[in-house]
Structure 1
């Protein structure tokens, strides 16, 4: 079973695992310690440049942190809706449709004449 946490909780866990004080991580990321604290408490969102820096600092793949970040944003948007499962099902269908459409469009050959 996958360990579920928010992006901020994941950052806090990684920071504590490396025994780094919040001020040192914030200095490395070039942000205010209070901003990092808010991110860890999910009171504020990170941006992509911060994700790059944190992945570098914690020596993990950027995509891993990006997945946590994006899934948080989507989950927060969808959880306020009455029937989120219907939307998730529609999203899966649209992703499949868009992939197929994009693949078909990529195979269209245009002639010069």
Structure 2
């Protein structure tokens, strides 16, 4: 479940209207609607606001937000899995370098 889907699920689970959440984030309702439909990205600063409002783990929400961004960049690429493997390996190597510093 990506960021927009998660937001829609949480909003409906709590019985909120899109306009209520849009107001919380200080954006207009059509913009919030596009975020839920994954047509636009939420701002990074919205993540802690939403996590606190819904009383959920901010880390989980941030991971979904980042996953959306990565997906948007590589989704149509025929080598998307290979690209993700390279990135994953690089992240592991980066982590090793950081611990050895």
State the superposition RMSD in angstroms. Answer: 1.2
Partner of 1:19: 15
Q: 1:96 is matched with which residue: 81, 92, 96?
A: 92
Partner of 1:34: 30
What secondary structure is seen at the aligned counterpart in 1 of 2:87?
A: helix
- Structure 2 unmatched ranges of 5 or more: none
- 1:52-63 mapped onto 2 (5 Å cutoff): 52-63=48-59
Using the size of structure 1 for normalisation, the TM-score is 0.83
- Confirm whether residue 49 of structure 1 aligns to residue 62 of structure 2: no
What secondary structure is seen at the aligned counterpart in 1 of 2:45?
A: helix
Which structure 1 residue ranges, 4+ long, deviate > 3 Å from structure 2? Answer: none
Partner of 2:68: 72
Paired residues, number: 101
1:103 Cα offset (Å) = 1.5
Partner of 1:111: none
Q: Larger relative contact order (C-alpha < 8 A, sep ≥ 6)?
A: 2
- Confirm whether residue 86 of structure 1 aligns to residue 82 of structure 2: yes
- Structure 1 unmatched ranges of 5 or more: 106-113
- Confirm whether residue 10 of structure 1 aligns to residue 6 of structure 2: yes
More helix by share: 2
Using the size of structure 2 for normalisation, the TM-score is 0.91
1:6 Cα offset (Å) = 2.2
